[in-house]
Structure 1
Amino acid sequence: MGDPHRVGVVGLGFISRAYLTTLHGHPAVRVTAVADLDTARSSAVAAEFPGTEAVSVERLLGGAEVDTVLNLTVPAAHADISLRAVDAGKNVFVEKPLAVTFPDGREVVERAAAAGVLVGCAPDTVLGTGTQTARAAIDSGLVGRPLSASATMVTPGHERWHPDPDFYYIAGGGPLLDMGPYYITALIHLLGPVRAVIGAAGRLRTERVIGSGARAGSRIPVEVDTHVSGVLEHANGALSTITTSFDGVATTAAPIEVHGELGTLAVPDPNHFDGDTRLFPLGGTGWRTLPPSAGYTGAARGVGLLDLVTAGGQRAPRAGGELALHVLETMTAVLRAADEGRRVELTTTVERPSPVPLTPVQEVVPQPFA
């Protein structure tokens, strides 16, 4: 199957552990280099993973033996790091969102296309058996023609558990840009692209209190709206409603529900890879759990990068840059619609990614890049 695909990781914060656990030892890839502004942190990570070198960010992006850069920096740095990787002729897979602003995200995708390199972007949770089984149910006609969907994420805020939550509450943060990628990406996998949106937003308070870590008890300012609701008009005519909130406590709503002529589908949390997909058919008397029928089994953070490697330039990555750009425009359009009090039409569209057959993650193997 050839040599493993070489991956360099930039940014070794909270989420990096999940990615490294997935990628280290997988036959498709080899983590050759890691870099962080905290050099002690990168040295510690390199020592933990044999064959991995701690290098500077500049060297990893420019000179290290790396085929694809895994960009796990904070959202404000996503576009800069991705563009520097692209300009060095490297593929890039970036943590969500693709960028803080739509123009920055578009620049990443356009410059990558011009350079002949690939862009991938989280969330890749939607490639697991949860969302993919729900998609297979829709595609096979179990709910008939989809008419509408709802997506709900309610939490009291990430400052309760994250030791450095500042970036969630400044430009580029907020519940929609942080958690919306999971739900909107899942809705696009399930129902297809979005053509227009409306929205409304607000915030409950102007500061938050950190609840854990060395800064516990410290107060941080809130500069963005922390409760956002939107209506998404899909190109196929279906309407989705989405609510993302850092101001609530709990909800009884299913993470996603899809309503069709012949039934309703309860879709598991798109922040997770698996979970039960349940169907309530027209005329039925209760919910029926569907067995997993599609998606990567045993998946965890990083499977989207593995999917990109499997694509080898011969098919579109299922967690690809064009999809991430469409998701980013959808989110920023909802925020703009809320701010301006009007319906906003999107300028991008995207094909639904190809479905994922039921596939064990360890069977993902690298392909030569075209």
Structure 2
Amino acid sequence: MGQPHRVGIIGVGFISGQYLTTLANQSSVRIVAIADLDRAKAEEVAAGIEGARALDVAELLADPEVETVLNLTIPGAHAEIALAALDAGKNVYGEKPLAVTLDDGRRIMERADAVGRFVGSAPDTVLGTGIQTARKAIDDGLIGRPLAAVATWVAPGHELWHPNPDFYYQPGGGPVLDMGPYYIHSLLQLLGPVTAVVGLSSRSRDERSIGSGPREGETFPVAVQSHLAGALQHASGAISTVTVSFDAVRTTAAPIEVHGETGSLSVPDPNMFEGESAIFRLGGDAWEALPPSAGYVDSGRGVGLVDFAAGHGRASGAIGLHALEIMTGLLEAAESGTRVEIASTFPTPDLVPLTAAEAWRD
């Protein structure tokens, strides 16, 4: 890996701004090329980054200066772009999920192995102080042997705020593949690999209405399940229950709770990089806040790529594939009414030491 590591971005939609904020002034990563189906948009973004060029997708993939492709396309294009980048000899770091089908996810990882390239996968929120502090508490035995976890995310639907929400309700979308990665990846960080899943799902309605923007009032079809409740059997013996929904209005539940033999742990929002963990100890009488003790401080989307450039690769494609198998397994289990075995696994990534912003940005 060169220093700085040279990155080409494909796709400069809504999420790209957060990545650019993290990466644009990062000393270990240099953005050298930008591509988008909208060439004018690519040119506009490239003009704001010193040394970056606006290219067509094919030109970016062929550019010898690009070491790693940052794949920020829509989920349905993740596999196509990742495979093309690997065939061009590039590493790939992509937005979640790794792919929208398990077959495509496996194909990406097999191709990476065949060509000797690295694949990384968001979400990298798990590398912030929120999830990493919770993981350190578990690793340090503060709640004893972990027995169970509960993860909950509910909302009434992205169409209330997103001006073009259609893709959230097509194959590759839905609450499982859209928001599920934050919760599944966090549970994998906290409790390790999963061996089997079961699930139930529903769809509240077949059509939704856009609530804001120039298309306000326009309706669009729903082709995915909009509510899922599932259970995950971890290799450690712990059992996690997961609820994700585009049908519910609000919840008072903690985003994630982990229960052990000697304590319970409240874990902050896994869609954020920070947040407070709290512990309730066996025999105690109140929740105790835990100060940040691990993770990248003041981090943002793209820190997983910085982590890779530093030689760590904690937000790995192997975890992304395992999470994808879990999520597609939950949907399969809900449809078939059967338990689905999970074949993949991953090596447990190292805990991120508490790393000040000045350190990981330099």
What TM bracket, shorter-length normalisation?
over 0.9
1:228 corresponds to: 228
Structure 1 residue 363 displacement after superposition: 2.1
Q: Secondary structure at the match of 2:231?
A: strand
Question: Which residue in 1 is equivalent to 2:156?
Answer: 156
**Take 1:294 and 1:196, find their aligned partners in 2: how far apart are those partners?**
29
Structure 1 residue 64: deviation in Å? 5.2
After TM superposition, the score normalised by the length of structure 1 is: 0.96
SS of residue in 2 equivalent to 1:358: coil
Q: What's 1:185 paired with?
A: 185
Q: Kindly report structure 1 stretches of 4+ aligned residues shifted beyond 3 Å.
A: none
Post-superposition Cα deviations, 1:82-109, rounded to whole Å, max 9, x if no partner, equal 0000011100000000000001001101
- Matched-pair contact (CA < 8 Å) for 1:94–1:122: yes
Are residues 1:358 and 2:357 paired?
no
SS in 2 for 1:280: strand
Tell me, what secondary structure is at the counterpart of 2:179?
A: helix
What is the distance in 2 between the residues matched to 1:362 and 1:96?
27
Q: TM-score if structure 2 supplies the norm length?
A: 0.98
The C-alpha deviation readout for 1:100-126, integer Å capped at 9, x for no partner, is: 000100110111111111000100000
Amino acid corresponding to residue 107 of structure 1 in structure 2: R
Aligned residue for 2:251? 251
1:230 is displaced (CA, Å) by 0.5
User: Given the alignment, which residue of 299, 307, 330 partners 1:334?
Assistant: 330
Q: After the TM superposition, which residues 2-151 of structure 1 pair with which residues of structure 2 at under 5 Å, given as runs?
A: 3-63=3-63, 65-151=65-151
In structure 2, the CA distance between the partners of 1:197 and 1:2, relative to structure 1 (3 Å rule), is: closer
Name the aligned partner's letter for residue 110 of structure 1.
E
Whether the 8 Å CA contact 2:134–2:190 is kept in 1: the answer is yes
Which residue number corresponds to residue 269 of structure 2?
269
The number of residues matched between the two structures is 362
**Out of 292, 315, 318, which is 1:319 matched to?**
315
> Which deviations, in whole Å up to 9, do the C-alpha atoms of 1:29-68 show, x marking residues without a partner?
1111111001111111111222111100111112252110
Q: What's the offset of the Cα at 1:354?
A: 1.0
Aligned-pair RMSD on alpha carbons? Answer: 1.3
Supply the distance in 2 between the matched residues of 1:113 and 1:20 (Cα, whole angstroms): 29
Contact 2:32 2:52 in 1 (8 A): yes
SS at match of 2:73: coil
SS of aligned partner of 1:45: helix
Q: Does 1:305 align with 2:314?
A: no
Structure 1: distance between partners of 2:319 and 2:189? 10
Change over 3 Å in CA distance of 1:170–1:2 after alignment to 2: closer
More divergent stretch after superposition (212-221 vs 357-366) = 357-366
- In 2, Cα distance between the equivalents of 1:135 and 1:3? 30
SS at match of 2:225: coil
Q: Is the 8 A contact 2:136 2:294 kept in 1?
A: yes
Asked if the contact 1:310–1:365 (Cα under 8 Å) also holds between the matched residues in 2, the reply is no
Residue number in structure 2 paired with 1:170: 170
Shift of 1:353: 1.4
Mapping for residues 284-295 of structure 1, pairs under 5 Å:
284-295=284-295
Is the 2:26–2:361 Cα contact (8 Å) retained in structure 1? no
Which runs of no fewer than 5 residues in structure 1 stay unpaired? none
- 2:211 corresponding residue in structure 1: 211
Q: Given the superposition, is the C-alpha separation of residues 88 and 362 from structure 1 closer, same or farther in structure 2, using an over 3 Å criterion?
A: farther
In structure 2, how many angstroms separate the alpha carbons of the residues matched to 1:303 and 1:115? 25
Q: In structure 2, how many angstroms separate the alpha carbons of the residues matched to 1:184 and 1:111?
A: 24
The answer as to whether partners of 1:33 and 1:64 remain within 8 angstroms in 2 is no
Q: Take 2:3 and 2:127, find their aligned partners in 1: how far apart are those partners?
A: 25
Native 8 Å contact 1:303 1:361 kept in 2 = no
Q: Could you tell which deviates more after superposition, 300-309 or 157-166? A: 157-166
Percent same amino acid at aligned positions? 60
Following the alignment from structure 1 to structure 2, what is the Cα–Cα distance between the partners of residues 259 and 8?
42
